[in-house]
Amino acid sequence: MPGKPDEVRSAYNRVVEEEFIALVVSKRADGGFERAIASRRLADLPPNDTLIRVRYSSLNYKDALSATGHRGVTRDYPHTPGIDAAGEIVESESARLAPGDEVIVTGYDLGMDTPGGFGQYVRVPAAWVMQKPDGLTLRESMVLGTAGFTAALGVHELQRHGITPESGDVLVTGASGGVGSVSVAILSKLGYRVVAATGKAEAHGWLRQLGAQEILSRDDVDDASGKALLKERWGGVVDAVGGDILATAIKATKRSGCVVCCGNVASPELHTTVYPFILRGVTLQGVDSATAAPSLRAQMWQRLAGEWKPSPAALDAIARDIALDELPPLIDAILQGRLQGRVVVAL
């Protein structure tokens, strides 16, 4: 009979014991880290107010750091990385979210010390959850993911600093990576002349297909002269790599130009003089996607779903679709800078 205490308890147990599949990273006795596809229970997830059935996630550089024990990203193991998740609400205490709603979560603590999108379920605070905008499918939202959201923030910062297509060429570094490739696609769609800097000779044709008008090698954008200022070349820059390439870009940015700093795959160091700033009025603008305010997130995702959305051909060219068990070797590839475009994980 429904409602009998034993039956209620057994129904409850079925729910809390429901198992799902996730990529689990564990610390070995020798201090190393190993990854396995493992079964998890809903009861293993933290007691947040919103449960989501994840349909798609994506691979970002930060996930690879989490999967290899980088303490600046994740402190507690076993752990499921995945800073991106797109799926449906299962249950939520928030009046804003109803079962079945299609939603996106990117950043905050997801995939850092909160079990992330490389599992079929996440349980997160409702405040992290955004309704998927019309104009993007769940899968498309993860083709973009944090990399695309960061690219959008970069474009937003260039515009906010008055950089238009008339301001001159825009340099995108790490151009074949996630942030880089989406930046190339958005900026070219908006009419900027995009110069893509890449370490991958094999990616030149692909970057042109995304809209880059000129391709440079990493060496071309890594000045070794020691000069404090270089010939003015860039109206704007979106930099995903940091280090000497970022320093070179700053020195070669035109008067009143803007350099957006997003990443540090080459180096977290930045050695520069003050001259580009005090003699050319160059702006160095950082972006932080993880902690972006909800209103800015909503605005950026509306643009990504609308006038900034890369063409269907560009989205197809950027994305590679994989299953969860194909992820581990790609984690190594992204750490080594070998990935091209974006990896979408179907769950």
Note the residues at the interface with ligand NAP (CB under 6 A): 60-62, 146-147, 150, 174-180, 198-200, 203, 218, 240-241, 245, 262-266, 287-290, 334, 337, 339
Q: Please report where in the chains the tokens 């691979």 appear, as a residue.
A: 59
Nearer to ligand NAP, 148 or 168 (CB): 148
Backbone angles phi, psi at 308, to 5 degrees: -100, 0
Residue 14 or 271 with smaller CB distance to ligand NAP:
271
Helix (H, G, I), strand (E, B), or coil: what is residue 13?
A: helix
Nearer to ligand NAP, 89 or 174 (CB): 174
With CB atoms as reference, the residue minimizing the distance to ligand NAP is: 177
Q: Which residues are bridge partners to 209 per DSSP?
A: none
| CB closer to ligand NAP, 92 vs 198 | 198
Contacts of residue 322, defined as CB under 8 A and 6 or more positions apart, other chains included, come to: 330, 343, 344, 345, 346
> Closest separation between CB of residue 333 and ligand NAP, Å?
8
Closest Cα to residue 76, out of 115, 47, 121, 48? 115
CB nearer to ligand NAP: give 253 or 289. Answer: 289
Tokens of 324: 């969860």
Do 238 and 157 meet the contact criterion of CB atoms below 8 Å apart? no
Alpha helices in 167-311, H assignment, sequence order: 178-189, 204-210, 243-251, 275-280, 294-305
Kindly state the smallest distance separating residue 233's Cβ from ligand NAP, in Å.
18
* Cα 340-345-347 angle, rounded to 5 deg: 175
> What is the nearest approach in angstroms of ligand NAP to the Cβ of residue 177?
2
Listed residue (47, 45, 285) closest to 156, CA to CA: 285
Q: How far is the CB of 269 from ligand NAP (least distance, A)?
A: 12
**Minimum gap (Å) between residue 211 Cβ and ligand NAP:** 15
Task: Please give the span between the terminal C-alpha atoms of the chain, in angstroms, as a whole number.
Answer: 36
Q: Report yes or no: 338 and 178 within 8 Å, Cβ to Cβ.
A: no
Least separation in angstroms between CB 336 and ligand NAP: 8
CB-wise, 200 or 254, nearer to ligand NAP? 200
Instruction: Report d(CA 93, CA 328) in Å as an integer.
Output: 34
Torsion of CA 145, 146, 148, 151, to 10 degrees: 180
Minimum CB distance to ligand NAP, residue 145 (Å): 9
Tell me phi and psi for residue 295, to 5 degrees. -65, -40
- Cβ closest to ligand NAP, residue 62 vs residue 132: 62
CB closer to ligand NAP, 22 vs 265: 265
Q: How far is the CB of 184 from ligand NAP (least distance, A)?
A: 10
